[in-house]
Amino acid sequence: EQITLLHGSHRVGKRSDAAMEKWRGYGLGQFIHWGLYAIPGGAWNGKQYNGAAEWIRSWNGIPKSTYDSLNYSFNPTAFDAKAWAKTARQMGAKYVTFTTKHHDGFCLWPSKYTKYTVKNSPYKKDIVKAVVDAYDQEGIDVILYFSVMDWNHPDWRYDLKTKEDSIAFERFKKFTRNQLIELLTNYPTVKGLWFDGTWDKSWVKQAAFADELETEMRKLRPGLIIGSRFRADENGKRHFDSNGVLMGDYEQGWERKIPAKIEDVHGNDWDCVMTVPENQWGYNAAWNGHIKTGNELIEMTARCVSMGGNFVLNFGPKGDGSIRQEEIKLATEIGDWMKINQEAIYNCEYAGYEKQDWGYFTKKSGTDKIYMVVFNVPVSAALRIKTPPKTIIKKAYLLADTQEVFSPEEISGDEYFLHLKKREQSKPFVIVLETAKAEKGNGTKYE
Ligand SMILES: C[C@@H]1N[C@@H](c2cn(-c3ccccc3)nn2)[C@H](O)[C@@H]1O
């Protein structure tokens, strides 16, 4: 049974306002991790660090003070926010999530509340503003990433063990609130905040403070979108409160992983944030292990959209501000596919069709238009379709060439085979099903 919570979730079920509807329809997004960590690029004194490059400060071999002084070396002469935004546009990203401050505490905007910002670097200029303006001009919405955990700030604590800890952390809480209000005030067009670094006990114990701060931010920016990772409830429960209700506006737990099946998303909105290598968010000069291909990333995008989520692909620009060739190449490959098939991704949702091995169903929100995003053509070249009950398939055709029409063979109640002509496939393709609900009448399938 439900318990009374003061600082649990304040909403049951999906948000239905226009801002959230737009977010729900994005389908494909870009994450950008950029900061001082891009300067070492995963190596220090010629030694490669195997962990995630944005965590290099935490590597034993590095004197923290030396890392912390990297702001004096930060001068990205190749930084061009407009070029970044064009790459995102080329890929077909509808939104970008951009690191304003990662765990190292370095601020890519000239914050008034700390000296550890771009202002105190050779570069000097406001990078967050450049990114927000460039992406706004490309018509790509901006969400700001913000790490609560801040290794640079003297009042950051992992836990509150002593009176001094608590006194320091009270200062840190004020600092955090000031920075968040500053970001929302400086960059009023941003659509949301993507919080990170909120798992330590110090912050988890701040249920009331974080709840009030979330309320204050939503009041300052009506429609603001905040995920489930920002705050815990008064029992320390994160992402889902003590009654199992989702915190925030969408589930923010799918980091480098995708739900296996629709049941795992519990009817919530969600995003999946994904790295190109196994686990590198910031620039790492040496990409090791499996590097995801364009086809893999297109499949991840379709899989997320087929279960009602957004797929957010990470880019880690170099210390000089340029984007590495491998990422440019992937953006182009994904974008070329999206140019032909974007109708099956944008403003689409879970179709309610039984999952099949050949790929994924998506449904255009608010319509009965179904998309079959095909990755694995069976040796039979027959694509099985199991529709929800009382569904009529009126038309079936290739999205890329609507002249290529199919007549699905009915094999049993609500079950069909769609027979493909034998052909060589090198890229996933999309088949459109125009459907209708069988009218009530004499109960037969077709009226
Ligand atoms: C979005 C991603 N979240 C950050 C992260 C992930 N983690 C982490 C920490 C412990 C276990 C698993 C993941 N710590 N920081 C990564 O650095 C990147 O920013």
Distance 252 CA to ligand 1 centre (A): 12
Confirm or reject: Cβ of 200 under 6 Å from ligand 1: no
Confidence of residue 50 (pLDDT cuts 50, 70, 90): confident
Which of 96, 146, 149, 255 has most ligand 1 atoms within 8 Å of CB, for mutation?
255
Residue 10: is its pLDDT beyond 80? yes
Residue listed under structure tokens 């999530």: 97
Q: Which of 200, 229, 271, 281 to mutate to test the pocket of ligand 1 (most atoms within 8 A of CB)?
A: 281
Is any atom of ligand 1 closer than 6 Å to the C-beta of 281?
Answer: yes
pLDDT at position 441, please?
A: 53
User: Among 133-137, 202-206, 394-398, 441-445, which stretch is predicted with the lowest mean pLDDT?
Assistant: 441-445
Taking residues 384-405, report their average pLDDT: 96
Query: Is a pLDDT exceeding 90 seen at residue 422?
Result: no
Ligand 1 atom at minimal distance to the Cα of residue 281: 18
Q: What is the pLDDT of residues 330-343, one digit of tens each?
A: 999 999 999 999 99
Q: How far is the CA of 291 from the centre of ligand 1 (A)?
A: 19
Q: E strand or H helix at 362, and its extent? A: strand 359-364
Residue 256: which pLDDT band, with cuts at 50, 70 and 90?
A: very high
Q: Which atom of ligand 1 is nearest to the CA of 54?
A: 17
| Structure confidence at residue 442 as a pLDDT band (50, 70, 90) | very low
Query: How many angstroms does the Cα of residue 377 sit away from the middle of ligand 1?
Result: 36
Q: Is the CB of 81 under 6 A from ligand 1?
A: no
Q: What was the pLDDT predicted at 426?
A: 84
Tens digit of each residue's pLDDT (9 = 90 or more) over 262-297: 999 999 999 999 999 999 999 999 999 999 999 999
Report DSSP letters for 33-62, one per residue. --SGGGTTTTEETTEE--S-GGGGGGSTTS
For residue 323, what pLDDT is reported?
98
At residue 42, the pLDDT reads: 97
CA 370-301-373 angle, to 5 degrees, is 35
Residue 424 pLDDT: 76
Q: Which of 66-70, 256-260, 435-439 is predicted least confidently?
A: 435-439
Q: How many CB atoms lie within 10 A of CB 26?
A: 23
For residue 58, how far is its CA from the centre of ligand 1 (angstroms)? 12
pLDDT score of 348:
98
**Using a 6 Å cutoff on CB, does residue 104 contact ligand 1?**
no
Q: How many CA atoms lie within 13 A of 122 on its CB side?
A: 10
In this prediction the ipTM stands at 0.98
pLDDT at 445 over 60: no
Which pLDDT score is estimated for 138? 98
pLDDT reading at 345 higher than 90: yes
pLDDT score, position 439:
78
pLDDT tens for each residue of 158-178: 999 999 999 999 999 999 999
pLDDT level of residue 447 (50, 70, 90 thresholds): very low
User: Considering only CA atoms, which of 353, 374, 354 is closest in space to residue 363?
Assistant: 353
Does 196 sit in the ligand 1 pocket, CB within 6 Å? yes
| Predicted TM-score (pTM) of this structure | 0.97
Report the SS3 class of residue 103: coil
Please, what is the angle between helix 325-341 and helix 294-306, to 10°?
50
Whose structure tokens read 């009374």? 4
For the chain, the average pLDDT equals 96
Residue located nearest, by CA, to atom 19 of ligand 1: 281
Q: Using one digit for the tens of pLDDT, what is the confidence trace for 80-102?
A: 999 999 999 999 999 999 999 99
Contact 105, 152 (CB under 8 A): yes
